[in-house]
Amino acid sequence: MYPETTPEAVRPEAGMSDAEAAAEARRIIADAYRPTAYRDDSPVPAYGTTPPVVQPGRPPMSQGATDASVLMLAGGTATAMVGGTAAVLMYVSQFADPVVCGLVFGAPTALVLALARLAKRAKPDPDIHHHYEGPVYQDQRNVHTRTTGVWAKTTNQQ
């Protein structure tokens, strides 16, 4: 299939001597084993105009998106563990009541959701600071809006 590249395979009718044929064979063999890629190992400067390179792993994203993705991964893992435990329990016992299992395994989830809602309400209101120069007139009114009826009559009262 492939011609041999040893000195014996070089034909003498090509007009080469044995030394030339051996040198040609060595050149062909060296060409066959030459690397086809080059890596530049010179040191990279610590600063410059080179754009950032995406690293393997998670794609680049904002800190908020990273935090949200970690929460979603943790929630998915916790859900899979709770659901898998319930499924194994029902399969092994062969007479486990799905309603009871739903209550037992759903109670921690309901508790966590209730605590999260309570924690969201417990946040203090932010301090609002206004800084003005010169005469300022502030009018702060509370308007109560009430929409009633089929054709939506809106009444605004101060």
Within 10 angstroms of residue 22's Cβ, the number of other Cβ atoms is 15
Lowest mean pLDDT among 10-14, 119-123, 153-157: 10-14
Q: How far is residue 64's CA from residue 66's CA, in Å, rounded to a whole number?
A: 5
> How close are the terminal C-alpha atoms of the chain, in Å?
97
**Length of the chain measured in residues:** 158
Q: In the chain, where are the structural domains located? A: 1-34, 80-121
Please report, rounded to a whole number, the percentage of residues in the chain having pLDDT higher than 90: 3
Average pLDDT over residues 84-99: 81
pLDDT at 7 over 60: no
pLDDT at 2 exceeding the cut of 60: no
58 CB-near residues (< 8 Å, 6+ apart): 66, 69
Distances (CA, A) of 146 to 120, 141, 142, 151: 27, 16, 13, 13
Q: Return the pLDDT at 23.
A: 92
Confidence of residue 9 (pLDDT cuts 50, 70, 90): low
